[in-house]
Amino acid sequence: MTRPLNLEEVGRRAGVSRSTVSRVVNGGPNVSSETKRRVEAVIAETGYRPHAAARSLASNSTGVIGLVIPSAVATLFDDPYFGRLILGISSATNEVDMTLALFLFGAGPDESSIISRVVAPGLVDGVIVTATTRGDPLIDHMQGTSMPFVVVGRPDNAGSTFCVDVDNRAGARTAALHLAGLGRRRPALIAAPSNTTAGVDRRSGFLEGLAEAGLSIEDRIAEGDWSQESGRDAMARLLAERPDAVFVASDRMAVGALRAIREAGLHCPGDISVVSFDGIVPPDLTAPRLTSVVQPVTEVGERAVRLLTAVIAGASTPEHVVFPTELAVRESCGATPTAGA
Amino acid sequence: MTRPLNLEEVGRRAGVSRSTVSRVVNGGPNVSSETKRRVEAVIAETGYRPHAAARSLASNSTGVIGLVIPSAVATLFDDPYFGRLILGISSATNEVDMTLALFLFGAGPDESSIISRVVAPGLVDGVIVTATTRGDPLIDHMQGTSMPFVVVGRPDNAGSTFCVDVDNRAGARTAALHLAGLGRRRPALIAAPSNTTAGVDRRSGFLEGLAEAGLSIEDRIAEGDWSQESGRDAMARLLAERPDAVFVASDRMAVGALRAIREAGLHCPGDISVVSFDGIVPPDLTAPRLTSVVQPVTEVGERAVRLLTAVIAGASTPEHVVFPTELAVRESCGATPTAGA
DNA sequence: CTGAAAGCGCTAACAT
DNA sequence: ATGTTAGCGCTTTCAG
């Protein structure tokens, strides 16, 4: 009795053919406004929705883009960075009427089966890859397929891929110059993992800035793993070297570092000036408020989607989008009088 | 020259028919091991992958489940709760070889267009809905469709829906009894938004426990919005009532509350005993470490996926899964001697 | 401006 | 055990 509600059926009810209904649904040309009205009325009253899979099959385009995050361990999601990135990506996909599929590895046992699902034809039109580590085979793998993809971050072999990144190096360099300009002479660094390009870039940018300012870092370097705990531990260790300033490669780690400073009975920015990277933790959540190199995470996500749609549309000359960062000066660096001091 | 790589082509190369290849790919029965070997060899060397959309169309099943989070504002992602939930859901979908599609509203302008995309046929097999507010039309809307769905949380009209929740009420009651058992007599409450069932349940559970212990809360109630800042503000306000204990309806808000206590020059747990809900913030991140009603977020996510697959498979009697919570006693409640005291 | 017809690549009877 | 066939619901020439 109840007929399947498809183009044919809508056409039947509106007294037109399937093709005409298709044109109406897709806003195609060559439909008399009278016919259009009638068809739309039927669609409205029946609640007809085109079948996504059928459409994908016929049009060879799914309207879905994938976001691939390898090594998505729990700690990864504790960092607000990814939430922000997903928000940016999601809002951009909504904007262009696409759907976002999320592929998180590391949780499951067999990631190679997941990746092969990602690149299977007919599931997604393209993918955004992020949070890769250096030498990650994933990117090489992607290049071996015909699946359009863009990388958020800077892959090792960036030359041949489309990618969206922030200028980690310049941002970190700015932090160094800022600290030096404040008269600090014993800078320390809490670096991000050196198996990530962001970690490497922030480290080298900071050292570069230091060199320009005529400062050297000696042994005052520790490496964290992005977690707040690791920042705290790193700072605690570094304190033995009596630094008067520290650049922490991420907000989360900086929160931990602030805590270590406090726990050691020292004062920030009095004893130690702190500058972090990210600009993601709400300023009022820390005391003192963090001076931070702000990266535009949400924009990066939005831009990645736009770039990906271009790649899907056929763009072929690798494009590297690099967003600038901006130093937000607050109290933790000591440039501004501390409220309570 | 280059033929499309589909079942037909694989079959041609292996010298068998399309159906046989299909059987091999899907692990179907009735394939001689010799044939199977030959087909698998061809698949391996060609890198053939079935076309997802074609498969969906023919089998009427997409292998994709959607996660719908309405009102996904930025603050929402600052709470580690959602990251954890997504992790649980993602690991479960990986487990059963399904793909996760993420639908975040609120960011975009027109959410009704998104929701209609969600329930369109042929895109997802089912949907997990969470973070709904009371009276949210979304759930009614879903019930009006034939799309299988489960709710994470407790919808108003839970009776008719499949849902997975934690026992917020019992957990909050336990917190009240714990505080009372510690001899506290002027309890306060920092509640979660009353337009969420979790907020309502935690509030009523706490009041219930208080009543059992013969305590009353009088005016010592404030309501936060899940954010750390709101917890801090709420606590600051509550301090005027001189409470000797407070139950905070979420870890994040509790972190803010701890800060307000510290900023007021008071001591936790000495002056005020604190118990929170969630058990998501790593204990060592706060001083003192939070005593907290732990909810199994990841398990909830995993269970939601399993329940959804059951619904997709045809389950029809609404099932309500309720996970118990567990009180993790640490230092903030004062039950255990404080390390530094 | 509209309809007819040919697939898209796959699954699932059904036949052999 | 394997092949044949008929769709799934849509887009897209191509006629008219």
pLDDT one-digit tens code per residue, A175-227: 999 999 999 999 999 999 999 999 999 999 999 999 999 999 999 999 999 99
Nearest nucleotide to B4 (CA to C1') is C9
Q: Residue A29 — very low, low, confident or very high, per pLDDT cuts 50/70/90?
A: confident
Nearest C-alpha in A relative to B281: A78
* pLDDT, average across residues B251-280: 97
In angstroms, the CA A127 to CA A4 distance is: 33
Q: Residue A74 — very low, low, confident or very high, per pLDDT cuts 50/70/90?
A: low
Tell which residue, B243, B196, B204, has the closest CA to residue B224: B196
Share of chain A above pLDDT 70, in %: 96
Identify the pLDDT of residue A62: 98
| Residue B220 tokens, joined | 């010592």
B151-161: buried (b, 16+ CB within 10 Å) or exposed (e) per residue? bbbbbeebeeb
Q: Residue A115 — very low, low, confident or very high, per pLDDT cuts 50/70/90?
A: confident
Q: Residue A340 — very low, low, confident or very high, per pLDDT cuts 50/70/90?
A: very low
Identify the pLDDT of residue B73: 66
Identify the pLDDT of residue A75: 66
pLDDT digits (tens, 9 = 90+) for B39-53: 999 999 999 999 999
CB-based contact A129:A118 (threshold 8 Å): no
In angstroms, the CA B42 to CA B33 distance is: 14
CA distances to A233, B226, B249, B256, B258 from B264, in Å: 28, 21, 21, 12, 10
In angstroms, the CA B187 to CA B213 distance is: 11
Identify the pLDDT of residue A108: 53
**Nearest residue for D13, CA–C1':** A19
- H-only helix segments in chain A: 7-14, 18-25, 33-46, 52-59, 74-78, 80-95, 111-118, 137-143, 168-181, 197-212, 228-238, 251-263, 297-312
B19 or B158, higher pLDDT: B19
Task: Give SS3 for B190.
Answer: strand
Task: Mark which residues 207-266 of B lie under 8 Å from A by CB.
Answer: 228-229, 259
Residue contact A53–B74, C-beta within 8 A: no
Residue contact A113–B97, C-beta within 8 A: yes
Q: Residue A59 — very low, low, confident or very high, per pLDDT cuts 50/70/90?
A: very high
Look at A14-18, A80-84, A245-249 and tell me which has the smallest mean pLDDT: A80-84
Straight-line distance from CA B19 to C1' D4, in Å? 9
Residue among B285, B299, B302, B305 with most chain A CBs within 10 A, to mutate: B285
Identify the pLDDT of residue B339: 46
In angstroms, the CA B241 to CA B220 distance is: 7
Q: Residue B8 — very low, low, confident or very high, per pLDDT cuts 50/70/90?
A: very high
Identify the pLDDT of residue B341: 37
* pLDDT, average across residues A58-71: 94
A105 or B21, higher pLDDT: B21
CA distances to B172, B199, B316, B318 from B164, in Å: 18, 16, 15, 11
Beta bridge partners of residue A126, listed in sequence order: A65
Burial class (CB in 10 A: 0-12, 13-18, 19+), A98: buried
Look at A66-80, B87-101, B313-327 and tell me which has the smallest mean pLDDT: A66-80
| Residue B127 tokens, joined | 């949907």
pLDDT at A150 over 70: yes
| Residue B214 tokens, joined | 């013969």
In angstroms, the CA B301 to CA B81 distance is: 11
CB-based contact A112:A137 (threshold 8 Å): no
Report CA torsion sign: B178, B184, B185, B186.
Answer: negative
Q: Residue B337 — very low, low, confident or very high, per pLDDT cuts 50/70/90?
A: low
Which domains are present in chain B?
A: 7-59 (1.10.260.40), 64-166+297-325 (3.40.50.2300), 168-295+327-333 (3.40.50.2300)
A36 or A157, higher pLDDT: A36
Tell me how far apart the terminal alpha carbons of chain B are, to the nearest angstrom: 80
pLDDT at A28 over 90: no
Task: Supply the mean pLDDT for chain B.
Answer: 93
Tell which residue, A39, A16, A14, has the closest CA to residue A27: A39
Report CA torsion sign: A89, A94, A95, A98.
Answer: positive
Look at A101-115, A171-185, A289-303 and tell me which has the smallest mean pLDDT: A101-115
How much is the pTM? Answer: 0.94
CA distances to A250, A303, B128 from A92, in Å: 25, 8, 22
Nearest C-alpha in A relative to B60: A53
